[in-house]
Amino acid sequence: MTKINKILLTLVVVLLVSLGCVIFWQKTGYGKSYYAVYISTGDLYFGKLSRFPRLALTDVWFLQKNNDTQNPYGLSKFDKAFWAPEDKLYLNSKNIIWMTEIKENSQLTQFFKNPQLSEQQKSSAIQQAPLATSTQ
């Protein structure tokens, strides 16, 4: 085996091991937490964040304004929208204003894990989670 072949073989092995580690990390440990992502359009999305191969959210929910004065905001499942999108939202990092991990024990995370909650419990989770608003 020539020296170039050994170098190429080593490079291929390193790349395969790296790819295997990234895929394993993605499937087992990373992407298990929920994140809130606020984008420049004023939309607030919630979901499991994935950075590889592209920045994306899965199990996506979004905050939607209602006409109800008692509960002006509600959560909607992204894939239940009238245009029937996939339950995956690709993000453009240039449009992200902020994003944050949601604590595992928060009411929102519990709701996302158990969406069969009644509308009253769903409303309660939103009302008890204060939202920061900005005026410009």
Judged against a pLDDT cut of 60, whether residue 75 lies above it is answered with yes
Domain extent listing, the chain: 1-30, 32-127
Beta bridge partners of 100: 36
Taking the mean position of all CA atoms in its chain, how far away is CA 41? 17
- Distances 46 to 1, 62, 71, 126, 127 between C-alpha atoms, Å: 53, 6, 19, 13, 16
Question: CATH number of 32-127: 2.60.40.1080, 3.30.70.20, 3.40.50.2000, 2.30.30.100?
Answer: 2.30.30.100
Q: Which of 21-25, 31-35, 106-110, 117-121 has the lowest mean pLDDT?
A: 117-121
Per-residue pLDDT tens for 19-67? 887 777 666 555 578 999 999 999 999 999 988 788 999 999 998 888 8
Quote the pTM value: 0.65
Residue 77 CA to residue 133 CA, distance in Å, equals 22
Query: Which among 24, 33, 44 has a CA at the least distance from the CA of 91?
Result: 44
Q: Assign residue 42 a region: left if phi > 0, alpha if psi is -120 to 50, beta otherwise?
A: left
C-beta separation of 45 from 102 below 8 A: no
Judged against a pLDDT cut of 70, whether residue 123 lies above it is answered with no
